[in-house]
Structure 1
Amino acid sequence: MKQSEHFTFASEAEVEDIGGGLKRQMLGYNHELMAVKIYFDKGAIGYNHAHRHSQVSYVVEGEFHFNIDGVTKILKPGDSCFIPPHTDHGATCPTGGVLIDTFSPAREDFIEDDK
């Protein structure tokens, strides 16, 4: 896996429409770590799923209803959550909002060039 440039400028980084009212902007990564900005439209759902990566999600704006391993909590700006590897999780965003998701190791499936 390649790595990102040392600096990422929001005005220049591609915002990819991933469907369902979600958009993704890569912030920085190498094979060990990845940070991604996720934009949720009002009412968008990040459907429950699991993956091999550790994940921390930080709420930048909006209200998110996070379900982690069958437990749902409401997170607001400044709140965060940790999702261990192989743990079922998802989120809904009734207000519209923005998350910063970090993954370790990096999500290879998010990098088009390496597929």
Structure 2
Amino acid sequence: MTQQQSALCRFASAPPVEDRGNDLKRQMLGYNNKLTAVKIGFAPGAEGYVHAHRHSQASLVVDEFQVMVNGETKTVGPGDSLFVRPHEDHGAVCPTGGILIDTFSPAREDFLKE
């Protein structure tokens, strides 16, 4: 692998999919000390419970979800995105099963320790 290729490719093969319980699966897509990108898979009816963290979060919606940010709930669909500021309460429910692509800044070091 050339130096340029290694700079663009974080993983030599597909990263493993982690079963996170509660019908959720997580796959690390890439990270450094400033950014983490993950793919979150939801089984039908799975819920990402309301929580908050110190990170800014930008998410790309692949399937239909009901998302809640600071008490406001909206239905979002394929191609939609959302932004969650640090320390804002947020969560999501996926009635039919689906995927969110989440990015976090700074990096989610807690994801690497789990």
Q: TM-score, normalised by structure 2?
A: 0.88
2:60 aligns to what?
58
As a proportion of its length, which structure holds more helix?
A: 2
CA RMSD of aligned residues (A): 1.7
1:68 aligns to what?
69
Which residue identity lines up with residue 111 of structure 1 in the other structure?
L
2:28 aligns to what?
26
Which residue identity lines up with residue 36 of structure 2 in the other structure?
M
SS in 1 for 2:101: strand
Which structure has the bigger radius of gyration? 2
Q: How does 1:39-50 map to 2 (within 5 A)?
A: 39-50=41-52
1:102 aligns to what?
103
Superposition misfits of 4+ residues, deviation over 6 angstroms: none
SS in 1 for 2:86: coil
Runs (5+) with no aligned partner, structure 1: none
Q: Distance in 1 between matches of 2:61 and 2:20?
A: 19
1:84 aligns to what?
85
Deviation for aligned residue 1:8: 4.9
- C-alpha distance after superposition, 1:27-85 (max 9, x if no partner): 0101101100000000000000000000011112x211000000001110000100000
Which residue identity lines up with residue 99 of structure 1 in the other structure?
L
Deviation for aligned residue 1:7: 1.7
1:38 aligns to what?
40
Runs (5+) with no aligned partner, structure 2: 1-6
SS in 2 for 1:111: helix
Which residue identity lines up with residue 18 of structure 1 in the other structure?
R
Aligned-residue sequence identity (percent) comes to: 64
